[in-house]
Structure 1
Amino acid sequence: MTPKISVIVPLYKTERFVEKCVRSIMEQSFQDIEILCIDDCSPDDSALIVRRLAAEDSRIKLIHHMENRGLGGARNTGILHAKAAYIASVDSDDYIAPTMLEALYEGTHDGHYDVVVGGYERVDETGKVLSRHMQSVRSLDPIPDDQDPYKIANPAFWNKLWRTTLYTENDIFFPNHIYYQDAATTPRIFAYAKNVNVIGGLHYKYLVRSDSVTNKTSDKHKLDKYRELDFVKDFFIQRGLYEKYHDAFSRRVFETYKNHFLTIADGKRALDEGSLKYLRYLLLMRESYLHLDDAIRGMTFEELTRAFEDGSADIRRLALEKKTIAIDGLPPKIVRPWSRTPDVSVLTLHSGENEFDQSKRSLENQSYKRWTHKVFSGLGNVESHQALYNEIMANSGRYHIFLKLDADMVFADESILEEIVKRFNSDPSLDHFVVACDDWMTGKQIIGFHAFSNRVTWNISAEGLFVDPSPKRPGKRVIVERTDRPYFYHSPDPSPFQAFHFGSHRALKLCQRHRPYEDKRADAMNSQWDVFFNVWNRFVETGDGRLGLALVACHLVVSGDLGEGVHDYKDAQLVEAFKQREHLTAAEMMSFLQPFWGTRSSRQTYFGKAVGLDGLRKLEEDRVLRKKAKAKRPVGVRKTEDGTAKQGFSESDERIRSRLRYRVYSAALSPFIGTSLKLKLKEKPTVFFRDAKHPALKLGRWLHRKDLPSDLQGC
């Protein structure tokens, strides 16, 4: 006859406790059970003890592993062998009260509830109760759609009754050979459970041992803390749940490191240097995971090695040992779920650009026809970009690829869209494709066109200056900064006002006058200066008045005559300034601009005025850090387009690495550093990080506490 509950008991090095554990199950008031004891190649007599007990009770089944699979692997074996509609679990050093299974089964209400949760006591080896843990009696039926899966109940596998099909039908199992596997599994189950009943009662007795996982500070513990989080994140992304649970996951990252920190700190009378180093690492890892997020997950092993340039073994193992978290022993794979020809959504921001009609015709002429086109008109710079990113996230289930095709962007020929689709199809890990455009204003190729897979998401912000943030992505980004033929023409025939707006908007990015020092972007200062220098050279060469207007607008921003709102086409100050200058001749503009741009020394002076003293200091710090990084960087070999080997790394690699930043906060370090270091940290944060020994600090950029999201403050 089929039992109503299958009780799973993993066995490994618990011969002192296993008989008490199994007998507590044998003596349950609820008898309609099977007891699945999984011998995970235990080197002691645990299996012999269970074999002796099995001779007394036919409900006990002893299953042997041929190789050690860890606690998670033993639980998976029990789940796969379970015959009952519900499963329970008791770790072999714990034991349970005689009425636990009866109470849990009654809590299913004749099979209605998917999960039933009871309370538990933490006890020592003498049976003394150290603490009691019991949630308020309640039920979630159904579980609300916006429910945080981490907040339903504690993540433990062992104080609950689970519907077996939650695991088997949803293909959810425990990771092998990592600590914190309960936390890596329970939230995934709760994402699929329909309802939960919390019944209370202190039925489960959790044994606290001196060698408990939570009291350890080994390399494996800190790496497995990362793996636990990464395992859940991979699952949410692959199942299309990451956007839904993104905020809950971020809170979990913060809280799990905070709680582990407190456990270690409270469990030791005196923190030795090793413990302090470990706790410091935990806090740094927490901050980097919260704020670097997908950037580090998208890095290859080679990129990780180069990013953490002192060759830290811990960091490198993040990439090397990810394979240990997969159930089948293989690294998690990104699978693109495209079973048919991809549908493309082309999204255009339109603010009156002169090339809009030409852009639409070039799209209509594309050989690839599975696309739709949506235009956002009449919105401000910030609002239009927010609308575009929200459109992508809202339609991720409808389209496979999204193109951001600005209204001043024209396809170079009819095959471009088909090439982009082929690139995504041929590379399942590609989520963000960036390609340079042939730009009329500069006469150069500049980064401009973006294509996204349907897996990307954004944290929408009101940032008005840099409105094209990189999205969160499970896979990788590819940046093509130089193309052997044109893909897109950018602003091939701008109107005079369009050119004037171009100059003012880019000048805001050059000056960054109202951004805090810590947030100033040296890369943007350099790239925008290059843009204006190229525009100047084009103006000298061609005498085209539109180029002169762009430089005049730039000067108005540099001199403070135009404010921060001129990034919008409709800004009244911008429109008025243009009306006052639209009739200037090329000769008049040349005469006006010559003192600023005519000589190398005048350009240097002008650049210093544009970026200000803080900008110059930021650029110098950035230059020094880049010089140090370059000196340490190993020489690599890459292949060029023709297949020949070439020393060094691609410009795309350099661009990606230059944007990777660790964000850490004073709360992460202040508990562990003395007064003199705190003073240096406060007064000269860049020097502090440059002198620091930890690789995350070497790569890090200091941000003040106010940058931490309000819902994550409270460290």
Structure 2
Amino acid sequence: MAPKISVIVPLYKTERFVEKCVRSIMEQTFKDIEIICVDDCSPDDSTLIVRRLAAEDSRIQLIRHMENRGLGGARNTGILHARAPYIASVDSDDYIDPKMLEALYDGTQDGLYDVVVCGFERVDEAGKVLSKHLQAQKVVDPIPEDQDPYKLANPAFWNKLWRTSLYTQNDIFFPNHIYYQDAATTPRVFAYAKNINFIGGAYYKYLVRADSVTNKVSDKHKLDKYRELDFVKDFFVERGLYGKYHEAFRSRVFDTYHYHFRTIVENNPKLDGDSIRYLRYLLLMRESYLGLDDTIRSMTVEELKAAFQDGSVDIHRLGLQKGTISSGGFQPRIVRPWSRTPDVMVLTLHSGENEFTQSKQSLESQSYTRWTHKVFSGLGNVESHRVLYEEIMANSGRYHIFLKLDADMVFADEAVLSDIVNRFSGDPQLDHFIVACDDWMTGKQIIGVHAFSNRVVWERTSEGLFVDPSPKRPGKRVIIENPEKTFFFHSPDPSPFQAFHFGAHRALKLTQRHRPYEDKRPDAMQIQWDVFFNVWQRFRETGDTRLGLALLACDLVVSGQLGEGVHDYKDPELLEVFRQHEKLTMAEILSAIEPIWGTLASRRSYFARAVGDDGLRKIEEDRLRRKKERRRSKQQVRNPASDDRIRMRRRYRMYQVMLSPFIDEKLKRKLEKSPTAFFLDARHPALKFGRWLHRKDLR
């Protein structure tokens, strides 16, 4: 019968450590394993030690290479000989906690997850912990389509449990005889994995040795860093994945060389000649690889020969001619972090907002002056946003930062733009910065202003209502919902027509009446409802008729008297209906909207009418889904420790016997493997016996 886990141990020059390594695997609490030790022509006594251990434990098998293939080659041999559905790996100078394999296998949840990840500790030869590396317990299921495979988890092969078929069925193996073979392999595997479970716990003990190859920098290290990158790029190109992971790969190239640069500078306060030459080498490799490799790959055989033999082809000029163009047809992006003061493009959508002049004046008064302003006027709502995003992507090679500044947005002071630039300059990973602004219509802070790095991209969409989609980005998004200082004022002095349009446009997002059920967005319904309730409160406090007009427009949309076209300022129906209501007095507006907003009962009834039966059902489904996710998340955090506490209790064993006649085999297995989840999730009436559990057992 095949084991459940195959543990791979490459052997090469580790006779001082290998017995401790292999014994730590032999002594695992999880017994259903095989231990595949691969002798990569080790010149010391590592093999003799493993033979002695194999005489004690029949689960150990020793495979010998006829020629040295390197760490990657030894791992490949282990993968090809593995009989189990999951593989793990322990480098022969490291060792593992007795419960590591049990924790990892439990994390597969009976084969549900492709990859299970635990934490690790860096230790010295005396066993002293030098550092601990933990990751929050979480589940990524499914792995998002746009997930950067380099940033899903650290690239190490050894602190994970892998579904064996990820390697064998996708023909993914480690490169032979290069350093950084983990980084050359795990991103390719993550490109095919469906899900991953991070279980926490520092179970793997990574030995830090003074004589380790990982602590040396040689000419081979330098060359192999390029080979590692090219190995992954070749794979992505051959499998048709390069377009999907292009930005992720470029980010990896830059991050890799930046890391090497930082290491050299920090370790050598006074740089010697060799260090300076190495920095020069790093910079040359980074710039040439990022800027020219795509072009060189597209060269004909004749061009390659000419460039190589006599230099008759100017590769840089060829790159300009071919454009080093991305798949989207845009210029190459300026690489982060930026080598010069960032240039900013400010983009404004103008549809007649009352604050446009004030907005331009506040931009012109900014202390940061390296900006260009482009205004889009006379376009419909959908078209204007499409053109704006295409403008950003088309100028990714000229500008570093793009600020989307609506025509009704006003800078709060002259330092705001400088503050935004500093946030991007100080965080090379930042790609999308969102900040709340003070909104006159609601009297609250609302999400309003978006700034982007030049690395973000948008896909074409037919979306006609939610026209501000989040871009794809290699780095992170930062949202400041409650800034300590005010960045922007939103619509500080709207015209009556502007307020009327505000109400109509947001009411369309509230009702979503023409959207298919599966595309309805319950989060947007709740957000817009809160907006209108705040407008109602502001109206009662201030008596400003513009706020009343916004609420009237909302009701006209809810009642069906205004159609889908009113999200555009220039919609003739919107303008005609506004003229019918613009002369209403405060008393007339109040008499029309107070029956809707005046009491809690009337508001509840109005909300149900606005979103409709489908909207209410969608909201309830979303609430239950989020509740289930929270419950599952709590269980995943609680289970490992609480399971052990429960099993130690005498009453647990008593209830195992008492429940046995009432539950089927599946529930019995669940009670044995995951008692916490069993008692929290179970629905069977007999499980009322579980009430004996104390709260402290479930923490």
TM-score after normalising by structure 2: 0.48
TM-score after normalising by structure 1: 0.47
